[in-house]
Chains A and B, each alone.
Chain A
Amino acid sequence: MNLKRGKILWIVYITVVAVIIVVIYFLWQHIWLITTGWVSTTVLMTIILYFIMNPDAVEKWASIIFRFLSFLGPSFDKRAIASYLQSTINSFSKRINSEVQGILPYGIKIKWVTETTKEAFIKNGEVIVLLRRSNNEARNLATATFTYMSNALIPEARPFVYQPVMVSADLVMARRILLEEHRPDALVILKKEFLEPIASQILGVSKYYDSLEKLDSQGMLTRLIFTEFNELAGLLGLRPPTDTIIKETKDFADVMIRLAEKKPGVDINPDYSGNYIKTSVMLIARTGIDEKTPYLAWVIRCLNKGIEKIHVFARGKDNIALAISVVDKLERKAMIKKTAESLFEVLYGKKVPAIWMLLRPKEH
């Protein structure tokens, strides 16, 4: 029976592949007729190159094809679910790692378990999660993204981070995947089935979720908070988490949240100097007169205080230019070295370019 079903599946596969080849051939012929051979070859090569360079995009297209064929049997539906979840999560983790390395260090591969015995299951010692049919894709997506985040987001640092902050960060990052995927249906499930029950059971999640969302919208969650947590984990190594360390992560997050939420004209001390985390934030904005001096003085003050890292943020073309110029001057004076940098966009009414640079004292 299974053998016969397998043969049918292979016939369907071969038919689908053949149809795709025929369609590509006809498109090719069509392009050939209206353009020169050189142009059509370039177009085709670009498409092929794009798919080679973006295996997640191929997987996403495969998920659409498998979903379309899911009426043929559950094996197509399972492939549709697995391809969709894998491509969505893996492409997101690559994008986040391009912001800051090591935030989501691994992707996922879904392995379906159909039959097993009690002995084999106990011996393997692994958790098996239920995923629904592909017509319940929003629920599968919300479940898989949050499950993935709660395991893969800064995995080395997680045990040291204050739980309401960590869980809120998981939820904010899961929300970001769903927003980028344009899945309002999955966002509703994330809110109703994860955020609200968790917020009612873990004190502080509701407050931290809102605050970390604001930090994320300013590009500071991944670049500032996660960078510091990851470095903390690197410093602590295999040491067990203690209440003091966990409190330090909470206090650090609180200071950075106050800074991100400050009203214009209100001064907030941007330093955090704990036992392990010794960092400061420099938000650069043009003042019009003697623009570099206050920032240079600020960095000297930080270095004298024993601050080990300075995160520089600036948004808007003019402020970015000033930030680059300040950091350049500091580097030429051999006071600091820039160890990381990224250009990104933030929503500030409209999309505005922004920059983050991580500075360390020269001797480090």
Chain B
Amino acid sequence: MEKRIFKAVYEADLKILLEGLGLLKEFEEGKIRCSICGTTITIENFGALYPSDREIRICCSNFNCYMKVRSNELKEG
């Protein structure tokens, strides 16, 4: 059976990942907002990271936001 890659970041690795992407300071200061609904992103409601328009965007764990990210990804892809 064909398997598709599901990329994931482990909760404890999130800060390392954000640091590499240059977003850790903003994240810790509560300045990152969900790119779909505008909610402030925290560790509790962190959903996913995705690239769009040569920028890194973050969406919250609300599934409707995630679905919009996926549908945009399909359109762009």
Contacts and interface: CB of A to CB of B under 8 A. Distances in A.
Interface in A75-94: 77-78, 81-82, 90, 93-94
A147 B11 CA distance: 18
A267 interface: no
A204 to B, nearest CB: 15
Contact of B1 (A74, A93, A116, A198): A93
Interface in B1-45: 1-14, 16-17, 20-22
Interface stretch (A128-136, A309-317, A351-359): A128-136
Interface string A121-146: 11011111111110010000001101
B10 A126 contact: no
Contacts of A81: 10
Given A111-B7, A112-B8, A121 B1 contact: no
Interface residues of B, number: 39
B17 A115 contact: yes
B8 A115 contact: no
Contacts, number: 139
A143 B6 CA distance: 12
A113 B70 contact: no
Interface stretch (A26-34, A148-156, A328-336): A148-156
Contact of B56 (A121, A131, A148, A150): A121
Secondary structure at the A interface, as helix, strand, loop or mixed, is helix
Contact of A116 (B3, B14, B17, B64): B17
A197 B20 contact: no
Interface string A94-116: 10010000000111111111111
Nearest to A81: B10
Interface of B: 1-14, 16-17, 20-22, 46-51, 54-56, 61-64, 66-67, 69-70, 73, 76-77
By Cβ-Cβ distance, the 8 closest A-B pairs, closest first, are A109-B3, A122-B51, A106-B2, A127-B50, A107-B3, A131-B8, A128-B49, A129-B48
Interface of A: 74, 77-78, 81-82, 90, 93-94, 97, 105-118, 121-122, 124-133, 136, 143-144, 146-148, 150-152, 193-194, 197-198, 201
